[in-house]
Amino acid sequence: MKRETQNILLILLGGALVKIAVNGDYLRYVKPAQQPWIIAGGGVMVLLGAVAIVRDLVTARQAVPHEHDGHTHSARPAWLLLVPVLAVFLVAPPALGADSVLRTEARAPASAAVANAVAFPPLPAGNVVPLPVNEFVSRAGWDAAGTLNGRTVSLTGFVVHTGGSTLLARLVISCCAADAFPVTVRLRGGEAGHFASDAWIRVTGQVVPGTATKDNSYTPDFAPVSVTPVPTPKDPYEY
């Protein structure tokens, strides 16, 4: 690959990193805390590429002309490397969704492993308590005190259809999308089944006690009283 191509790729890749960090698309890949590092890394790449281009231009002007060695090289393979970089500029890939849930076994969050030793606190007061899906699954599977029982909660996630069931799912990440794992809730009733896979919804209802077990990958049943479509959140993951 020619140095000119390398330098241009470096600038474009650095620019793409800065772009997704500024417009929020980086949340499809990593945790919010990574934003400053992405901006810094992209900025350094742009700076290094620009410095290299200026240096090469100065060197080329000072170089003594020499005869062509008679060999030609196609630049096409090198320029094909621009395709994924331009894709980030023009059409950023979507966040992980239903396909990832179907390929990866759902489980309770790792923090729930301490639930046998540490009791879950009572839910806040209120007629409807909003909860992250991973906390809901943790309480349903591990809380011996049954803090969810009889309480109405609201959960937000995306729809997954599998084996005749409709699931509400979220993907939980520790660092980035590469380590994502799903937490899922099985929705009883047919209303949620009318939504397409990957559609984002908010469900309000109650847990069916005793339905989250190791045998079903800690997927509790949920009896919804309302199902509402919602826009895809800017940050689609839970932590």
DSSP result, 123-172: PPSSSSEE--HHHHHHHHHH-TT-TTTT--EEEEEEEEEETTEEEEEEEE
Query: Residue 1: its pLDDT value, please?
Result: 53
Between residues 1 and 146, which one has the greater pLDDT? 146
Query: Residue 67: its pLDDT value, please?
Result: 47
The mean pLDDT of the chain is 81
Q: Would you state the structure tokens that stand for residue 55, as one six-digit string?
A: 């240096």
Query: Residue 5: its pLDDT value, please?
Result: 72
Q: What is the mean pLDDT of residues 37-59?
A: 83
Q: What is the mean pLDDT of residues 171-186?
A: 87
Between residues 63 and 218, which one has the greater pLDDT? 218
- Each residue's pLDDT tens digit, 225-237: 999 999 999 889 9
Q: What percent of the chain has pLDDT above 70? A: 80
Pairing of strands 181-187, 129-130: unpaired
- Each residue's pLDDT tens digit, 68-99: 444 545 555 555 666 666 666 666 667 778 88
User: For the ranges 14-18, 64-68, 196-200, which has the lowest average pLDDT?
Assistant: 64-68
User: For the ranges 12-16, 87-91, 99-103, which has the lowest average pLDDT?
Assistant: 87-91
- Each residue's pLDDT tens digit, 116-139: 545 789 999 999 999 999 999 999
Residue 157 · residue 201 · CB < 8 Å: yes
